[in-house]
Amino acid sequence: MTDKLNEMIETAAAMVSKGRGVLAIDESTGTCQKRFDSIGVECTFESRRDYRHMLLSTEGLGEHISGAILFDETLRQSSEAGVPFVKIMQDNDIIPGIKVDKGAHPLAGFEGEKITEGLDGLRDRLAEYYDLGARFAKWRAVITIDEVNPSQACIDANCHALARYAALCQEAGLVPMVEPEVLMDGDHDIATAYEVTELTLKTLFEQLYEQNVVLEACILKSSMVVAGADCPEQADIEEVAEATLNCFFNTVPASLAGIVFLSGGQSEIEATEHLDAMNRVENLPWPLSFSYGRALQASALKVWGANPQDNVKAAQAELSHRARMNGLAAMGEYDGKLENE
């Protein structure tokens, strides 16, 4: 086994180590604009820097956060005092990661479906990101459910791209995080979500095998099996946990380094409760943790936005609390009573 592969396996294991998960702060400038608009803060290079510095410099964050997914701009940024964000993360025991896809675009010939782009030039970008300090990467594909979708062609195209991306990551020494998100948008029931998620994951792991991706150095970032947001019948916490785990048991090889969940539109509390319920099941073949964006940031963003100059510590306290709650959920030890501490 090569030194590079050993390093990736160790990195992947650290990303899903006991009681720790990944913070997703890889929002594009456009998405960040929407978030800042919601709190009345102008979205500038400086304000994005200050916000992300607030998050990454939270004291003790590394106790529950193992890594953070960054946007290209953020990986290259430094604090106002000139300290590179990568150094701040490393000093806080947080592994730097990087979003490398170029976004989801319409899939030609398939109305309503999307394909994620960004493979062109990826090898060179990954080499640069490694030199900048990143040790894992993320690529997101989106699968839409409606009356006629998803098509097998869409699933195949996105899973093939995910596998090619993953192989390029491992060539460069970066742990690939593969994210096939089955969207919550729509009125489909949980049974339909299960069917689509199962098909997507089966296709993904077939493609990862075909591209010689080493699963022990790979992380799956997955949506949970939940009914569409507009479905009149929403499953309870135990039903979501059972459906999601059954889907994984049928599709995800035990050799995979670990699974982290995206929150996908769930509230902060819902995302924590679902993760906790799954981790209360004993003898799972892989670590189950979190890689939340809004479900970790929402409260912190709101507090910070009310007064970015004076509310840094208060916003960090919100982030630290949510990180701790999800760290407990990643061990099946969450208790809702702790929310009021």
For residues 304-313, give the mean pLDDT: 95
- Hey, where are the domains in the chain? 3-340
The three-class DSSP label of residue 308 is coil
For residues 56-72, give the mean pLDDT: 97
206 in active site: no
pLDDT value at 25 more than 80: yes
pLDDT value for 265: 83
pLDDT value for 274: 96
pLDDT value at 2 more than 90: no
- 211-240: per-residue pLDDT in tens? 999 999 999 999 999 999 999 999 999 999
For residues 39-43, give the mean pLDDT: 94
Q: Which of 27, 179, 268, 273 is catalytic?
A: 179
For residues 147-151, give the mean pLDDT: 95
Fold of 3-340: TIM Barrel (3.20.20)
For residues 175-187, give the mean pLDDT: 96
Q: Which of 113, 221, 273, 318 is catalytic?
A: 221
pLDDT value at 176 more than 80: yes
How far apart (Å, rounded) are the C-alpha atoms in residues 271 and 290? 9
Q: How far is CA 336 from CA 59, 229, 296, in A?
A: 24, 23, 16
pLDDT value at 10 more than 70: yes
pLDDT value for 264: 83
CB 11 within 8 A of CB 135: yes
- 314-333: per-residue pLDDT in tens? 999 999 999 999 999 999 99
| SS3 of 70-135 | ECHHHHHCECCCCCEHHHHHHHCCCEEEEECCCCEEECCCCCCCEEECCCCCHHHHHHHHHHHCCC
pLDDT value for 1: 61
Q: How far is CA 182 from CA 55, 121, 129, 173, in A?
A: 28, 27, 28, 28
Q: What is the DSSP string of 167-191?
A: HHHHHHT-EEEEEEEE---SS--HH
> Percentage of residues in the chain with pLDDT exceeding 70?
100
179 in active site: yes
